[in-house]
Amino acid sequence: MTKISLTPVIDVVFILLIFFMLASNFNKIGEIDINITKETNAVNKEDIKIIELLIRQDETVISDGKVYDDNDLITMIKHLTNDNSKYSIILSSKDDVTYQRFLYLMNFLKNNEISNINIGLKNNAIKN
């Protein structure tokens, strides 16, 4: 009685499997066609009023070379943002400022309904 060896059968099955995998076209699931045009409705930097604030540890903030305490800061920001609804506040700090002071000012601005607050980093502060 002759025994049939399964090794050649398995080899043929794997070759057929590889052939059909390479020859078939898999459906691309999850792709969306997007028409990208050159026209955009994005806001330009010229349209956004950028307010840069330098936080100091002595409970003052510098903006455009002028020193403000926290209450005067709210008045200044509301005055600058009255005529422009699109603004961005960039907070940066000196090296001696504690995290507590930084977060206090962020919370103070938020409680006074000042939004769109960003954290500014120095170029040399970003390390890989």
The domains located in the chain, with CATH, are 48-122 (3.30.420.270)
Angle at 61 (CA atoms; ends 79, 93), nearest 5 degrees: 125
- Express each pLDDT in 31-88 by its tens digit: 666 666 665 555 555 677 888 888 888 888 888 889 998 888 888 888 887 766 678 8
Dihedral, CA of residue 3, residue 4, residue 6 and residue 11, to nearest 10: 140
Percent of the chain with pLDDT over 90: 8
**Residue 50: φ, ψ to 5°:** -100, 125
pTM assigned to the model? 0.56
Tell me if 109 sits within 8 A of 117, measured CB to CB.
yes
